[in-house]
Structure 1
Amino acid sequence: MSEDEWWRDAPTRTIKVENGLRARSTRGDIARTWWSRRFIEVLEELGLGGRLERGKRYARQGQVVSMSLSPSIVVATVQGSRPAPYRVKIGVKAFTADQWAQVEQALAGRALYLAKLLAGEMPTGIEEVFEGIGLRLFPNSFAEFSMECSCPDWEVPCKHLAATCYLLAESFDTDPFEILAWRGRSRQDLLDSLRARRGGPAVAPEPGPDPLPDDPAAFWAAGSVPPAPAPPAPGAPGAVLDRLDPLPVLLRGRPLTEYLRPAYRAFAEEA
């Protein structure tokens, strides 16, 4: 046997991991939301379905030791049959700054999309927003993917890569912003840009300390006491709702404020 085939004589029993990253799903499909299922469907459409199944058991056994996501790349370590965990990388093409500017301009006019993202949901029509400017949120070809694993298996994805894909899909379940971050835009950067494009209020700087007086003795003197604020003028119950910007939230097809006004009237009557 040549030195290049040393791995064929290595033990094949998987080394169990304590406190590994374990898939929450114990049977059936792992992805729960439409957007994480879409990610798995894309991989299956690329002909990876049968090979992905081999990693599902690894994901459920907790063989993934660590996983981190950053723009355009996911890095993980997965324990196999060798003492040292294998190093796994899954890359995807991140959108450019100009492309993200077009996406944000399209999203800025859709208040409901922003509300759903803030509620931890991926809007069902968001793929059409990306397609409208010639982009795809989910990769649709191997040219957009790069997959690497340090294991000796020549198939891509191997079970270590597949296990990482399943845990990645579950992380998308928990936080849809991770899909966007993988494509190159962090949650905070995206929200800041959308608020700015929608004309949101700027955050005023916090006031600094008052300057010291020229006379040191005046530092210990009592300053003038500001007048007490005038009590608020009585108004109609729920008047505060009229002072707010329209809430981008609908409940059963009606604005949320229509449901809040009766509650304000009831509070006023009790008072």
Structure 2
Amino acid sequence: MTERPQPETVPWWRDSPPSKPRRVAGGIQIHSTRGTIAQTWWSARFIEVLESLGVGGRLARGRSYARAGQIVELRVDAGAAVARVQGSRPEPYRVRVGLTAYGKTEWAAVEQALADDAWYAATLLAGGMPPEIEQLFAALGLALFPASGRDLTMDCSCPDQTVPCKHLAAVFYLLAERFDADPFEVLALRGRDRETLLANLRARRGADDEPAEGTAPGSEAAAPLADRLDDFFTAGPGLADVGRIGSAPAPPDALLDQVPTFVMQIRGHRLVDLLRPAYRALDEPG
């Protein structure tokens, strides 16, 4: 009896043939159509970790997914970025990128260090991330950015056994663009959202400015305002350099990235995409 030849199988270590994803109406689409996606040094940190894992064609397919708007939703909370990514199956895949969130004790130390130098908060509010903030975290025995894939947990409900898969890669690229527009989202992953962090910094700086015990407010000797007009409105140490923090300014259409997704489209185009050229034109000289 002649044995029937067995069908060839694809070895498990090779990438599976790319499948065609289902198109998404109104998906979240990154704006970079070619070249580097991360425009700032802080968002590039996450892309460096992804690219260091060496996952072959999945990175290219992940970029294609992100550019095609295959990500249905993305939510950044303390300790995790959770998304739904539409693949070739009817149900979108559930994707999670996890990063350790610090607790109250760690954040109390970070907030006090930030409050001691108002330049940090001012730089963040100006849309930048001062490079010195890495040293600030390191001095407290903490890390702001993941150093390698071991610092992250990555999960996807797709059948691909390789981590990260193309769906995880797509979420990484979208996160990088989100971080470009709002550096506070990096801090949110570590456990502090913008509103809580700024409120705590104001409270700590207010406590530092309170008069000493036994001194009535306003009773300290102070020079009359008329005698201090030359220096009363000076920026102070560090604040004058906020405009020169070495990072790319926020693009003129960054505000549109914060607008909730509209289901309604105009002649097949999303509303934010129709408004984007107008926002960019307003920033052009002359």
Calculate the TM-score normalised by the size of structure 1. 0.70
Aligned CA RMSD, in angstroms, stands at 2.9
Q: How far 1:242 sits from its partner (Å)?
A: 2.9
Which residue of the partner structure matches residue 96 of structure 1?
A: 103
Which residue of the partner structure matches residue 65 of structure 2?
A: 58
Amino acid corresponding to residue 250 of structure 1 in structure 2: A
Q: Does 1:187 align with 2:194?
A: yes
Which residue of the partner structure matches residue 269 of structure 1?
A: none
Q: Does 1:249 align with 2:263?
A: no
What CA deviation, in whole Å up to 9, does each residue of 1:131-176 have, x standing for no partner? 1111111112444311111111111110001001100111101100
| C-alpha contact 1:115 1:248 (8 A) present in aligned 2 | no
- 2: CA distance between counterparts of 1:106 and 1:241? 26
Q: Does 1:34 align with 2:41?
A: yes
Q: How far 1:197 sits from its partner (Å)?
A: 1.9
Q: Does 1:22 align with 2:12?
A: no
| C-alpha contact 1:67 1:76 (8 A) present in aligned 2 | yes
Structure 2 residue matching 1:242: 3-state secondary structure: coil
Structure 2 portions without partners, runs of 5+:
1-17, 210-224, 244-286
- 1: CA distance between counterparts of 2:101 and 2:150? 13
1:146 to 126, 147, 153: 153
Amino acid corresponding to residue 152 of structure 1 in structure 2: P
Q: How far 1:249 sits from its partner (Å)?
A: 2.4
Is the deviation greater in 66-75 or in 241-250? Answer: 241-250
Q: How far 1:117 sits from its partner (Å)?
A: 0.7
- 1: CA distance between counterparts of 2:92 and 2:193? 29
Q: Does 1:130 align with 2:137?
A: yes
| C-alpha contact 2:79 2:98 (8 A) present in aligned 1 | yes
- 2: CA distance between counterparts of 1:251 and 1:13? 49
Q: How far 1:237 sits from its partner (Å)?
A: 11
Q: How far 1:244 sits from its partner (Å)?
A: 8.8
Q: How far 1:243 sits from its partner (Å)?
A: 7.8
Which residue of the partner structure matches residue 163 of structure 1?
A: 170
Structure 1 residue matching 2:232: 3-state secondary structure: helix
Structure 1 residue matching 2:33: 3-state secondary structure: coil
- 1: CA distance between counterparts of 2:187 and 2:242? 29
- 1: CA distance between counterparts of 2:163 and 2:178? 22
Structure 1 residue matching 2:173: 3-state secondary structure: helix
Which residue of the partner structure matches residue 68 of structure 1?
A: 75
Shift in CA distance, 151/134, structure 1 to aligned 2, threshold 3 Å: same
Is the deviation greater in 101-110 or in 150-159? Answer: 101-110
Q: Does 1:117 align with 2:124?
A: yes
Which residue of the partner structure matches residue 84 of structure 1?
A: 91
Which residue of the partner structure matches residue 179 of structure 2?
A: 172
Q: How far 1:130 sits from its partner (Å)?
A: 0.6
What CA deviation, in whole Å up to 9, does each residue of 1:105-137 have, x standing for no partner? 211122211110111111121111111111111
Number of aligned residue pairs: 211
Q: Percent identity?
A: 55
Amino acid corresponding to residue 147 of structure 2 in structure 1: N
Which one has the largest radius of gyration?
A: 1
- 2: CA distance between counterparts of 1:241 and 1:192? 28
Which residue of the partner structure matches residue 7 of structure 2?
A: none
Q: How far 1:46 sits from its partner (Å)?
A: 4.4
Shift in CA distance, 97/252, structure 1 to aligned 2, threshold 3 Å: closer
- 1: CA distance between counterparts of 2:85 and 2:241? 45
Which residue of the partner structure matches residue 266 of structure 1?
A: none
What CA deviation, in whole Å up to 9, does each residue of 1:20-45 have, x standing for no partner? 11111000011111111122113333
- 1: CA distance between counterparts of 2:113 and 2:235? 21
Which residue of the partner structure matches residue 106 of structure 1?
A: 113
